[in-house]
Structure formats: structure tokens, C-alpha cells
Amino acid sequence: MNNLELQKTANEVRKGIVTAVHAAKAGHPGGSLSAADVFTYLYFEEMNIDPKNPDQEDRDRFVLSKGHTAPGLYSALANRGYFPVEDLTTLRKLGSYLQGHPCIHIPGVDMSSGSLGQGISAAVGMALGAKLGGKDFRVYTLLGDGEIQEGQVWEAAMFAGFRKLDNLVVIVDNNGLQIDGPIDKVCSPYPIDEKFKAFNFHVINCNAHDFDELRAAFKEARETKGMPTAIVVHSIKGKGVSFMENQCGWHGKAPNDEEYAIAMADLEKIGASLN
């Protein structure tokens, strides 16, 4: 896909996020929107996957370690054809397969996740398994910048760096906000890039909302041998919805009907500007 197509797709993914969370009357729009471009790039450009054959053995894997942003993942999967986009409005409802946090039984979801710090370890295990089995699939995992306060993240990073898992890409969505406030006011994980460097990662910083930069970063990751790559993507929480951008309060809150209308109008406007 070219950048314009990716931008249009990402905008559709954002609409799906807002629609799903609005319908659920609960969920996490802020971090889903900040990562929407990353989800889009991974599922529409980067990863070797086939929505018609979601369990194919040699597919690339993705683990959403920051599992609360399931609406972002689900919207990307739905738009990619894993399941109907209409199903997004069943999110979090009793009887729906779209659980509040990613569940392995959902088409396209490679690992259940949501308890922070755990997804990265599973991704590391998959990458190690690929190496042990002589397989050349790649493994991607997305973490929140608040999530990296969890000690398990660094256990996993130490292991991945030591094992030279160059088939692993750890993406940190650095939107700067967590539930209780700015990450550097709650318990600062900065400098994020230097920490991953110290754990023997190749580290790339890039703009989370610029597809040229994302393209270059994932290419560089693929070309990096002998060590895993961490891409710290600098993002805007709530990106694309005017009143949600950079607002801590939209971490885990659903828009009401009025707010939903404004959010969708914002996204329609962005969509129109891309035509």
C-alpha cells in the first residue's frame, strides 16, 4: 500500500475504534487511536499474514502486549478481513467473541493478553521457537509506555537481547500518558530508548503517525541482524479525535452519543481531506 492508502485505511481503523468503544459504552480509545497507524502498517503492509488462513504455521505473529487497546487491534483485523467490521459493535458484550481484552479464540489474534507485561514474554517465546525450529517468520509485539513500568518487560528484554532474537520487534507506543497522569509524573520510564539499548536491542525512534518513518523503521528492523529491535513510536494519545488528543481522561472511557457524533465528524473530515 502507498502512504495515502495506508492513511485512508488507518482512518477507517480509527472509525472502527470509536464506533466499537461507543457501542460498548466502555473500553480504551486513547491508546487504540495512538496506535492505529502502527496497527494499520503491521496488518496492511508489514506482516506476512493471510486473513483467509489465520492459523497458517509460518505466518508472522503479533502480540498486543498492551491488551487494553484491543479495539485498535480488532478494528485493524476487521478491516483486514478477519471478521466483519459490523461485529465491532458487539465489543465487550455478553456472548460476543470480541472480549474486552484480546483472546486467542478471536480470528487473527495470536495470543490472549491484557495483563500488562505478559505479552512481550509470549512474543519472545514465539521468536525463540522460530529460531529453534529454523523458521523464518517474524514476531511483533506492541507495548504501552506505561506498561514498561512492569518488571517482566525487562526480564523479557534481557532474555531477547541475550538470545539475539533478531526476528523480534518490540514496539513501544510512547504517547506519554497513563491512567494516573503523564508517565513522567507517575513513575518515569524515560529514557526508553537508552533502556532498550542497554538490554542489547537495536533501537529506532520514529513518529507513530508518519508512514514514511514507520516504513523506514520496520525496514531497518528487518535488516538488523544479531539483535532484536525496539521501535519507540512517538504518538499522540487519542490521535484523530480532537477532544481526545493528549487527554489522559480518554485512556479508558467511552464517548457518549454526542461525543461520538463529534468524533466521527472529526474522522470523516480527515477522510475527506485524503480524497
Partner 1 sequence: MADVKKIATRESYGNALKDLAEEFPNLVVLDADLAEATKTGIFRKAYPDRHIDCGIAECNMMGVAAGLSLVGKIPFVSSFAMFAAGRAYEQVRNSVGYPHLNVKIGATHAGITVGEDGATHQCNEDIALMRTIPGMVVMVPSDDVEAKAAVRAALEYEGPVYIRFGRAAVPVINDKPDYKFEIGKGTVVRPGKDVTIVATGICVDSALGAAEKLAADGIDAEVINICTIKPLDEEIIINSAKKTGKVVTVEEHSVIGGLGSAVCDCLSEKLPTPVKKIGMQDVFGESGSAGALVAKYGLDADGVYASVKAFV
252 binds partner 1, rule: CB under 8 A: no
In the shown chain, the binding pattern of residues 2 to 41 toward partner 1, with x for contact by CB under 8 A and - for none, equals ----------------------------------------
Minimum distance of partner 1 from residue 30's CB (angstroms): 23
d(CA 244, CA 250): 6
Minimum distance of partner 1 from residue 221's CB (angstroms): 19
**Contact with partner 1 (CB under 8 A): which of 2, 52, 53, 57?**
57
In the beta sheet, which residues pair with residue 204?
231
Minimum distance of partner 1 from residue 110's CB (angstroms): 7
- Give residues 186-205 in contact with partner 1 (rule: CB under 8 A): none
- In the bound state with partner 1, the residue whose beta carbon lies nearer, of 101 and 234, is 101
H-helix segments, the chain: 3-24, 29-34, 36-41, 70-80, 119-132, 151-162, 183-186, 192-198, 211-223, 257-273
Minimum distance of partner 1 from residue 162's CB (angstroms): 8
Sign of dihedral through CA atoms 79, 83, 86, 92?
negative
Amino acid at site 126: M
d(CA 115, CA 143): 11
Binding residues for partner 1, total number by CB under 8 A: 33
What single DSSP character describes residue 97?
A: S
The grid cell for 173 is 507506543
| Phi, psi for residue 252 in degrees, rounded to 5 | -140, 55
- In the bound state with partner 1, the residue whose beta carbon lies nearer, of 228 and 255, is 228
- Give residues 67-126 in contact with partner 1 (rule: CB under 8 A): 103-104, 110-112, 114-115, 117-126
Beta strand pairing status for 202-207 and 61-64? unpaired
d(CA 52, CA 71): 21
- Give residues 130-169 in contact with partner 1 (rule: CB under 8 A): 130, 132-133, 135, 151-152, 155-156, 158-159
Point out which residues bind partner 1 (CB under 8 A): 57, 61, 63, 103-104, 110-112, 114-115, 117-130, 132-133, 135, 151-152, 155-156, 158-159
